Each structure stands twice: as C-alpha cells, then as structure tokens.
C-alpha cells in the first residue's frame, strides 16, 4: 500500500486550502471543499474494506451510494490542512443506503466532515446530473465578494451583470452567471437543497451575506471561477464610490461571448 500522504488528491487539497487561506477567503474554519474520487485513484492508498467509523448523513444521497469523496473537516482551519491533513481532512464513502458516510481515512481526532456536507453532497448530485464530469464543490468567504453583498442588490441578473462589467474576461469565465440565495441558516438540509437547485443552472452561487459556492470538473476550474468573481468584486469595491467614467458595454460583452464561443445568459444583458 502506498503512503496516502503522497496521494495526488491529498496534495491537491493541501495546496488548495493553503492557497485559499493565503488569499483571505477562509478565516478560522470558514469554507469547505469536497472532491469526488475515482475508486482507482484511491485503491493504491487505502484499504476499501476498512471502515473506521460510520457517520449518519441526516439526509438521503442514494444516487451517490458507493461514491468516494475527500472532504474538509468541520471546524477545521484551512491554514492547518497543509501540515496535518490526517486531522483536517477525511475520505468518506457514501453507504449503500445513501444515509451514512463511511470514514475510510482522516478526521483522526474524532472529527467529522464539514457541517455543510448536505450542501456539498446535494450539489454533487445536482451537478452530476448536468455534467457527469463534475468533481469539485467549493465553499468559501472571499472578502470582496462578501463586502459587495452588503452594498449591491442580491439579484442574479443585476449581480452577474455588475460582475461581468468589472473584468473583460468575466463573461467568458462564467457565462452562465452567478446564482444568488438570500441569507439562510447555514449547515442545514434546506440551504443544501436550495444550493443544489441553483447549481443546476449555475456553477457559482452566492450565499447572501455569507459566502460563495463554486462547482467544476477540476479543482483549478472551481478555484478559478471563485477567483474571477472575487477579482471582479474587488474592482467593484474599489470603484463603486467613485464617479464611473468608463464601462464595458453590453454590446462589447456580447462580442466577447460570441468571439470565445461561450453559451452565455443572454437574458442577463440589456441589449
Ligand atoms: P465547517 O467548519 O463545518 O466546514 O463550516 C465552515 C463554514 O464555512 C460554514 O458555512
Ligand atoms: Zn461558510
């Protein structure tokens, strides 16, 4: 058996959480990541027959029965993942009944997966229905995105339009726009179901006055989506209180989307 500390999926989580922490997106235990794993990715590193603990999910995830995920731990600090992945991360398998998580590795201090596991697993189910290649769900609290939530209308069309206006490449990176949920109690099945519903149409969902969710095929794609929104939000927050002398026009955004061949939310432009 190979040492799981050398597994690419552990290295990827260590590097990503460190990067997100460094960018200020994940204060204290803020944020969580789940990444779907193929059985053959894990096989050389873990004994699949050795279940360390069984954890009740508190919701039903039958379509994910047997699927494996590496998930950040609840209450764990992103800044600590790099040095101690075995305490701060876990590999879980969804049980055959879709109602339990079988712990195969990690959470070695008795911990458990993120409190946002309902949102993560429900989002994986929703995204896999849209894109069978989807593997990553990421949640964090990026500073400028969050700041923008307090001064900008929390309306999907208006928020997406403002973000698209802030960087030339925004409409190309997230042509599907940004979904928005109002403030809701986090860690619940309700916010999980609402997030998953939004992720059928978007790869990004803002949780009003809380943070953001991103979903993608790879860690890079998902990280890049959130990074691009955060950059646009930063430019908005740096300029919103100043007289606007120039702006990217809607016809120019249309030109961009057509040139790069992306399927964009035409109803989010005012043409
Ligand atoms: P966890 O520590 O349980 O992952 O919660 C962090 C968070 O961001 C809640 O929304
Ligand atoms: Zn959060």
Which 3 state secondary structure label does DSSP give 136?
strand
Contact at 8 Å (CB) between 229 and 235?
no
First CA to last CA distance, the chain: 59
| SS3 of residue 39 by DSSP | helix
Rounded to an integer, what distance in angstroms lies between the CA atom of residue 266 and that of residue 168? 16
Q: Which residues line ligand 1 (CB under 6 A)?
A: 29-32, 72, 74-75, 114-116, 139, 186
Residue length of the chain: 271
Query: Which of the following is catalytic: 116, 156, 165, 227?
Result: 116
204-207 and 179-181 strand pairing: parallel
- State residue 206's pLDDT score: 99
Q: Catalytic annotation on 116?
A: yes
Q: Of 26, 118, 187, 214, which is best to mutate to test ligand 1, by the most ligand atoms within 8 angstroms of its C-beta?
A: 187
Mean pLDDT, the chain cut into blocks of 10 residues (271 residues total): 97 98 98 98 96 98 98 98 98 98 98 98 98 98 98 98 98 99 98 98 98 98 99 98 98 98 98 94
Q: Identify which ligand lies nearest to the alpha carbon of 29.
A: 1
User: For residue 116, how many C-alpha atoms fall within 13 Å in the half-sphere facing its CB?
Assistant: 30
State the pTM of this model. 0.98
HSE value, Cβ hemisphere, 13 Å, CA-based, for 45: 19
pLDDT at 143: 98
């Amino acid at each position: 058996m190979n040492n799981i500390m050398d597994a690419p999926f552990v290295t990827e989580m260590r590097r990503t959480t460190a990067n997100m922490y460094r960018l200020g997106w994940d204060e204290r235990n803020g944020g969580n990541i789940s990444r779907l794993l193929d059985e053959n990715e894990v096989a050389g590193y873990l004994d699949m027959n050795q279940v360390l603990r069984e954890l009740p999910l508190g919701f039903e995830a039958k379509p994910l029965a047997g699927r494996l995920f590496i998930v950040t731990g609840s209450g764990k600090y992103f800044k600590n993942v790099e040095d101690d992945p075995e305490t701060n991360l876990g590999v879980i398998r969804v049980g055959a009944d879709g109602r339990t998580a079988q712990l195969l590795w990690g959470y070695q201090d008795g911990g458990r997966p993120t409190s946002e596991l309902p949102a993560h697993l429900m989002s994986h189910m929703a995204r896999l229905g849209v894109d069978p290649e989807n593997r990553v769900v990421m949640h964090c609290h990026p500073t400028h995105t969050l700041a923008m939530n307090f001064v900008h209308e929390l309306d999907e069309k208006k928020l997406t339009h403002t973000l698209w206006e802030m960087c030339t490449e925004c409409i190309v990176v997230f042509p599907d726009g940004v979904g928005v949920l109002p403030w809701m109690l986090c860690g619940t099945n309700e916010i999980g179901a609402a997030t998953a519903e939004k992720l059928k149409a978007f790869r990004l969902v803002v949780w009003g006055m809380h943070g953001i969710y991103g979903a993608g095929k790879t860690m890079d794609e998902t990280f890049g989506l959130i990074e691009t929104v955060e950059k646009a939000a930063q430019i908005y927050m740096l300029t919103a209180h100043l007289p606007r002398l120039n702006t990217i026009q809607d016809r120019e955004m249309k030109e961009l989307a057509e040139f790069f061949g992306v399927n964009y939310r035409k109803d989010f432009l005012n043409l």
